[in-house]
C-alpha cells in the first residue's frame, strides 16, 4: 500500500550524479518528494548511471551550457523547494545556476551542494573519491590489520555516511526552518567533514589515554578477545561484541573457559586469551556457532555475505529486502526503506527510469509544445 509520504508537498531538482547526491534525493523521493533528476547526455557514456538509486524519481536530460537548457532549468527551479548539486566548487557559478542566481527568482529555495572537501578551505578544488575522503579524515588509518596496510572498505562510507545522510539532514533542517521564517538557505556539505564527525569515539579514547589510536589495536577494534572476529572450522567468521562484562562472562561460560571471565581487559593476558579463542572457534562451523550462541546473550553474529543478507529472514520480515515491479513488469528484488514511520511511511512507487525518460513529459508540463520539445531534442538540449 502506497502512502503520500512525509514530503509529498516537496519538489526537488537534483543536478548531482553518481552516488552522494542521487542517494540523498532517493531518500527524499522514498518519503514522497517529487524528484526530477537532471543530467547532461554527455554523462551517459561514462557508465556511471546507477539506476537502482533513481527509484521514485523522474529523470531528464538537459544541457545547462545551452541558453535554452538554462531557461528550462530556471523554469523548474522557480517552483522548486530543494535543489541538489554535486559539482566541484565554482562549477554551478560558471553555469549560472548557483544559489545566488536561483535565489533571485526563488528566495525560499533550499540549495544543497555536496562536495568532497567543501566550498571553502585549502582542499576545495581538489579532486577525490571515497578512499581520499576516508584517508583525509583519518578513518582509513584505522581500518585493516595492525601489521598491514590500511584496507579500503567495500562500501562507500564517505559518499553515503559523510555526504548523502548529512545532506538529507541539512535539507530537512532547512525546510523546517523555512516553515517558520519563510526563508530558504544554502547548505554546504563536505563528505570529509561528515567523516571526521565519526571520529568522536576514537578522539575521546585518545584524549583519555594520551595515545593516538592504532589500526586494529583499540578497545573496539581487535585489541581484546571480547570485541573481535574469529575464523570458524569452515573458513567463515563469527563477530563477537561482548563489551559489557555480563556478556563476556556468558560467552566464557558458553565456551567453557570461566577462568577468563575476570580477565576481560587484562593487558598482560589479552594475547593469550585471543589465541585461545581462535582455537576454540575453529572447532565448529559458522552454522554450529550461530545455533549455539543464539541461546546465550553474548552479542555475537555471523559475518554474512551480501547474498546471505538479501535472503535473511531479518531483512525480509523488516521489509528491507522486497519484491517490486521493474520497468519490464517483472518482479525484482530491491532494498527497502530503513526509516520506519508509523503515520507517513515511505514507499516504493515507481521503478528507476531510463536515462532521460521523463524529459518530454517534464517539458510538456512546463508548457512547451511537442514541436518545441522535438526541436530541443534535435539541438541536443535534451
129: pLDDT strictly greater than 60: yes
> In the sheet that 34-39 helps form, which strands lie side by side, from edge to edge?
57-61, 34-39, 11-14, 82-85, 110-115, 185-190
**What is the C-alpha to C-alpha distance for residues 280 and 227, in angstroms, rounded to an integer?**
15
* Residues 39, 48 contacting (CB under 8 angstroms): no
Is residue 159 annotated as a catalytic residue, yes or no?
Answer: yes
Alpha helices in 38-127 (DSSP H): 67-78, 91-95, 99-105
> 228: which residues sit within 8 A by CB, 6+ positions away?
222, 239, 240, 274, 277
Percentage, residues of the chain above pLDDT 90: 90
45: pLDDT strictly greater than 80: no
Query: What number is the average pLDDT over the span 266-292?
Result: 97
In this prediction, residue 260 carries a pLDDT of 98
* Residues 349, 324 contacting (CB under 8 angstroms): no
Four-point Cα dihedral 265, 267, 272, 277, nearest 10? 20
1: pLDDT strictly greater than 60: no
pLDDT tier, 142 (very low <50, low <70, confident <90, very high otherwise): very high
End-to-end, the C-alpha distance of the chain in Å comes to 35
Is residue 31 annotated as a catalytic residue, yes or no?
Answer: no
DSSP assignment of 146-201, as one string? TTS-----SS-HIIIIIIIHHHHHHHHHHHHHHHHH---EEEEEEHHHHHHGGGHH
pLDDT tier, 48 (very low <50, low <70, confident <90, very high otherwise): low
Closest listed residue to residue 191, CA positions, set 237, 248, 132: 132
> Which residue's entry shows cell 543464539?
294
Which residue among 14, 30, 159, 193 is the active-site one?
159
188: left (phi over 0), alpha (psi -120 to 50) or beta: beta
Which residue among 51, 129, 141, 312 is the active-site one?
129
List of domains in the chain: 11-197+339-378 (3.40.50.10540)
In tens, the pLDDT along 312-371 reads: 999 999 999 999 887 777 888 999 999 999 999 999 999 999 899 999 999 999 999 999
In this prediction, residue 47 carries a pLDDT of 66
Q: What is the mean pLDDT of the chain?
A: 95
Query: What number is the average pLDDT over the span 161-180?
Result: 98
Q: Which three cell numbers stand for residue 338?
A: 530503513
Integer-rounded Cα Rg, in Å, for the chain is 25
In tens, the pLDDT along 236-256 reads: 999 999 999 999 999 999 999
Tell me the backbone φ, ψ of residue 58, rounded to 5 degrees: -95, 150
Number of residues that make up the chain = 382
Amino acid at each position: 500500500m502506497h502512502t503520500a509520504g512525509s514530503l509529498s508537498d516537496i519538489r526537488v531538482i537534483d543536478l548531482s550524479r553518481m552516488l552522494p547526491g542521487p542517494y540523498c534525493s532517493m531518500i527524499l523521493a522514498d518519503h514522497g518528494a517529487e524528484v526530477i533528476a537532471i543530467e547532461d547526455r554527455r554523462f551517459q557514456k561514462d557508465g556511471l548511471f546507477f539506476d537502482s538509486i533513481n527509484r521514485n524519481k523522474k529523470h531528464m536530460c538537459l544541457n545547462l551550457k545551452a541558453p535554452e537548457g538554462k531557461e528550462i532549468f530556471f523554469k523548474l527551479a522557480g517552483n522548486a523547494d530543494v535543489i541538489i548539486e554535486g559539482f566541484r566548487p565554482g562549477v554551478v557559478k560558471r553555469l549560472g545556476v548557483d544559489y545566488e542566481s536561483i535565489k533571485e527568482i526563488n528566495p525560499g529555495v533550499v540549495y544543497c551542494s555536496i562536495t568532497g572537501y567543501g566550498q571553502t578551505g585549502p582542499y576545495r578544488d581538489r579532486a577525490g573519491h571515497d578512499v581520499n575522503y576516508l584517508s583525509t579524515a583519518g578513518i582509513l588509518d584505522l581500518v585493516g590489520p595492525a601489521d598491514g596496510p590500511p584496507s579500503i572498505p567495500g562500501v562507500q562510507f564517505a559518499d553515503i555516511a559523510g555526504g548523502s545522510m548529512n545532506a538529507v539532514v541539512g535539507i530537512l533542517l532547512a525546510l523546517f526552518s523555512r516553515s517558520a521564517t519563510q526563508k530558504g538557505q544554502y547548505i554546504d556539505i563536505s563528505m570529509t567533514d561528515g567523516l571526521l564527525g565519526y571520529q568522536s569515539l576514537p578522539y575521546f579514547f585518545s584524549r583519555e589515554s594520551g595515545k593516538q589510536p592504532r589500526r586494529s589495536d583499540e578497545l573496539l577494534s581487535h585489541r581484546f578477545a571480547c570485541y573481535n572476529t574469529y575464523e570458524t572450522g569452515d573458513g567463515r567468521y563469527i563477530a563477537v561484541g561482548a563489551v559489557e562484562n555480563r556478556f563476556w562472562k556468558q560467552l566464557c561460560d558458553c565456551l567453557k573457559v570461566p577462568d577468563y571471565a575476570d580477565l576481560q581487559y587484562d593487558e598482560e593476558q589479552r594475547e593469550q586469551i585471543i589465541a585461545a579463542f581462535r582455537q576454540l572457534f575453529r572447532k565448529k562451523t559458522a552454522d554450529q556457532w550461530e545455533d549455539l550462541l543464539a541461546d546465550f546473550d553474548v552479542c555475537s553474529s555471523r559475518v554474512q555475505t551480501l547474498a546471505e543478507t538479501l535472503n535473511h529472514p531479518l531483512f525480509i520480515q523488516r521489509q528491507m529486502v522486497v519484491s517490486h515491479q521493474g520497468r519490464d513488469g517483472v518482479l525484482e528484488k530491491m532494498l527497502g526503506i530503513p526509516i520506519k514511520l508509523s503515520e507517513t511511511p515511505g514507499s516504493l512507487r515507481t521503478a528507476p527510469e531510463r536515462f532521460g525518460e521523463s524529459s518530454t513529459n517534464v517539458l510538456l508540463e512546463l508548457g512547451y509544445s511537442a514541436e518545441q520539445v522535438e526541436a530541443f531534442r534535435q539541438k541536443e538540449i535534451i
